[in-house]
Amino acid sequence: MPILQTLLFSLFLLSSLVLVSEGADYETVDFKGQKLSILRDPFTKVPLIIRGVESNLLEVKNFSKLSRKEITYVGPQLVSKYQSLLQIGPDQLKFKGAERISDTWYISYWQTFHGMIIYESSLGCSIDLQGCIKSLGALLYPNVKAPRSSKISHEEALKIGQRQIKDYKKLRCRLLAESVLVYPVKKKSSIDYYRVYAFNFFPQEALHPASVVGGWAVFVDSQTGNVVLFETLFKPMGCCVPENWVPPKPEEMKPKW
């Protein structure tokens, strides 16, 4: 997991805790004898933030002796403990990244549906060197209902995606990342879940280390072939490049999910 991606998630998580704390509609609940402060998603009612009140959410024993791989098991433990609040199971987590910054570990996960990542879903927490988790931040989707198979072939979806980009061949575009995802779209009183082929295309010019040229994300509905998302991607490395910087390989460029 590139450190930049983990750092960005960590900063997002920490900033979200700070930004929503002012004027946010927290509720205090008693959960199995533990007092918690919870901020819920107004749409799904699932917690966006859970904080322990004068207690930790979880205390990991012998944390200082754990390997990096063992540390990643913390997420499922956390979800198991608060499953009735989070409304997903520990087997629905997919590890996203873990990085130690100073005296704190930052760990993040995606939510999955039958093995497919749910687009922009997340669950993250920070752990101090004593193994204490004081809060968690999440964007989760309960009771997901999405197709489990595709009606449109990968080859057909890829051609549809390529046709969305003007001068695709002239720009010598390359497919740098692809996946099959669940893409949630919020409506007035419900959420539609699409099983999509997700493609990230970048023109050849974008691979040059000094280039600031971006690319495109195209999500094609696997049931109908309709394009449900088309947006511009900013080049991951930006325009400020140190002298000893080595350009990433195509497979190392961060995908749009």
* pLDDT of the residue at 210: 72
String of DSSP letters for 222-242: TTT--EEEEEEE--TT-S---
- Asked if residues 252 and 200 have their Cβ atoms less than 8 Å apart, the reply is no
Contacts 24+ apart (CB under 8 A), 122-126: 122/9, 122/96, 123/75, 123/78, 123/79, 123/86, 123/93, 124/9, 124/10, 124/13, 125/13, 125/57, 125/74, 125/75, 125/78, 126/10, 126/13, 126/14
- Residues of the chain above pLDDT 90, percent: 73
- Residue-wise over 18-54: b if at least 16 C-beta within 10 A, else e? eeeeeeeeeeeeeeeeeebbbbbeeebebbbbbbbee
Model confidence pLDDT, tens digit, residues 234-253: 765 433 334 444 555 655 55
Report which of residues 95 and 12 the model is more confident about: 95
To the nearest whole number, what is the mean pLDDT of the chain? 86
Say which residue, 14 or 108, is predicted with more confidence: 108
Query: What does the alpha-carbon distance between residue 215 and residue 173 come to, in Å, rounded to a whole number?
Result: 9
Tokens linked to 21:
């704390």
Q: What is the pLDDT of residue 141?
A: 98
Residue 3 has pLDDT above 50, yes or no: no
Q: What is the pLDDT of residue 249?
A: 60
Q: Give the mean pLDDT of 125-140.
A: 96
Residue-wise pLDDT for 135-179, tens only, equals 999 999 999 999 999 999 999 999 999 999 999 999 999 999 999
What is the model's pLDDT at position 252? 59
CA–CA separation, 41 and 52 (whole Å): 18
| pLDDT for residue 2 is more than 60 | no
Rounded to an integer, what distance in angstroms lies between the CA atom of residue 228 and that of residue 200? 14
Residue 14, pLDDT > 60, answer no
Report, as an integer, the average pLDDT of 179-185: 97
Q: Is the pLDDT of residue 20 over 80?
A: no
CA distance 35 to 32: 8
